[in-house]
C-alpha cells in the first residue's frame, strides 16, 4: 500500500471480507488501528498502520485469486458457520484466506465463486452492475405453460416488490433455465412459486461469463487470468 486508502477498502483488499461485510465489521468495533478501535469505514489508513480484526493483524495479500466451486446440498455459503455445518470455504485449497462472492441457499447446488479480491467481489455482487446469474430449476406441477413463462420473463410480484424481467427458457416439461440480474434472497425459488411451480431442485449454472461446465460436485478450480478478466469486464471493471 503506497498511499492512504479507506479502511473498508483496505480490509476488502486484504481478503478479510467483501467491502460491505468489512464495513459492518468496522461499525461493530471489531477493527483497530494501532490498538484503538475504529468505527468509521471511511477512515484512511496508510502504509505501516497496524490494522487488526478481532486482534489478528491484517495485511494485503500479494496475489489475487478467484476459485470456482460446485457447491453440494448441505454446504453453507459462508467462511465459517456457528452451527458447525460444512462451509463453502472448506472446499477450497488450504493456505489462502478466501470468502464467497454472494451466496447460494443451503439446498441449492452449483457455481459459486471464492476470492480474496474485495474490489472484484464488491462489483460482482452490487446491484448497480447487474451481473447475470443463470440457474437450472426442476419444478413441480408440470408442464410449465406459456402463461407462466411470460410472467417470469416480464417480472412477478413478490413480497419485497416486483422482479425485473428475466431470461427464461423451458428445457423440459418440468425444467427451466432462468437468468436474473438481481440478487434477492431465494429469488428464483420465490419467482417459480409465484407462478404456480414450486422448485424441487435448483442449480446455478452460470455467473456472468462463467459456466459451471463439467466441474464435479464438491470440486473447485482456480480461474485462469482470462476468466478473471472476463469477470471484471462483466462487472464494469
Q: For the segment 174-188, what is each residue's pLDDT rounded down to a tens digit?
A: 999 999 999 899 999
Is 64 or 61 the better-scoring residue by pLDDT? 64
Is residue 105 flagged as an active site residue? yes
Cell representation of residue 46: 496508510
> What is the β-pairing status of strands 199-207 and 175-180?
unpaired
pTM score:
0.76
Q: Is the pLDDT of residue 2 over 60?
A: no
Query: Please, what are the domains in the chain?
Result: 5-57 (3.10.290.10), 66-127+210-234 (3.30.70.580), 132-207 (3.30.70.1560)
Q: How far is CA 190 from CA 19, 76, 168, in A?
A: 28, 20, 15
The span from the CA of 91 to the CA of 48, in Å, is 33
Q: Is the pLDDT of residue 52 over 70?
A: yes
The whole-number average pLDDT for the span 55-66 is 78
**Residue pair 154/147 in contact by the 8 Å Cβ criterion:** no
Cell representation of residue 97: 484466506
Share of the chain above pLDDT 70, in %: 96
The whole-number average pLDDT for the span 144-165 is 97
Q: For the segment 27-43, what is each residue's pLDDT rounded down to a tens digit?
A: 999 999 999 999 999 99
CB atoms within 10 A of CB 15: 23
Q: Is 180 exposed, middle or buried (0-12, 13-18, 19+ CB in 10 A)?
A: buried
| Catalytic entry in 49, 81, 105, 119 | 105
Amino acid at each position: 500500500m503506497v498511499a492512504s486508502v479507506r479502511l473498508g477498502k483496505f480490509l476488502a483488499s486484504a481478503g478479510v471480507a467483501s467491502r460491505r461485510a468489512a464495513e459492518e465489521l468496522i461499525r461493530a468495533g471489531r477493527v483497530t488501528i494501532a490498538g484503538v478501535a475504529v468505527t468509521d469505514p471511511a477512515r484512511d489508513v496508510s502504509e505501516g498502520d497496524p490494522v487488526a480484526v478481532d486482534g489478528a493483524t491484517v495485511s494485503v495479500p500479494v496475489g489475487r485469486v478467484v476459485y470456482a466451486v460446485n457447491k453440494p446440498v448441505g454446504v453453507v455459503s459462508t467462511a465459517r458457520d456457528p452451527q458447525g455445518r460444512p462451509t463453502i470455504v472448506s472446499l477450497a485449497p488450504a493456505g489462502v484466506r478466501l470468502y464467497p462472492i454472494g451466496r447460494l441457499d443451503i439446498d441449492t447446488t452449483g457455481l459459486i465463486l471464492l476470492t480474496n479480491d474485495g474490489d472484484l467481489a464488491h462489483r460482482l455482487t452490487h446491484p448497480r452492475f447487474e451481473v447475470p446469474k443463470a440457474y437450472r430449476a426442476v419444478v413441480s406441477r408440470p408442464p410449465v405453460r406459456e402463461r407462466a413463462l411470460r410472467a417470469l420473463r416480464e417480472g412477478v410480484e413478490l413480497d419485497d416488490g416486483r422482479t425485473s424481467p428475466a431470461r427464461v427458457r423451458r428445457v423440459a416439461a418440468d425444467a427451466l433455465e432462468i437468468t436474473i440480474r438481481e440478487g434477492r434472497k431465494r429469488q428464483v425459488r420465490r419467482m417459480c412459486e409465484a407462478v404456480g411451480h414450486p422448485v424441487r431442485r435448483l442449480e446455478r449454472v452460470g455467473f456472468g461469463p462463467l459456466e459451471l461446465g463439467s466441474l464435479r460436485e464438491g470440486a473447485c478450480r482456480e480461474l485462469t487470468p482470462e476468466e478473471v478478466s472476463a469477470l471484471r469486464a462483466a462487472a464494469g471493471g
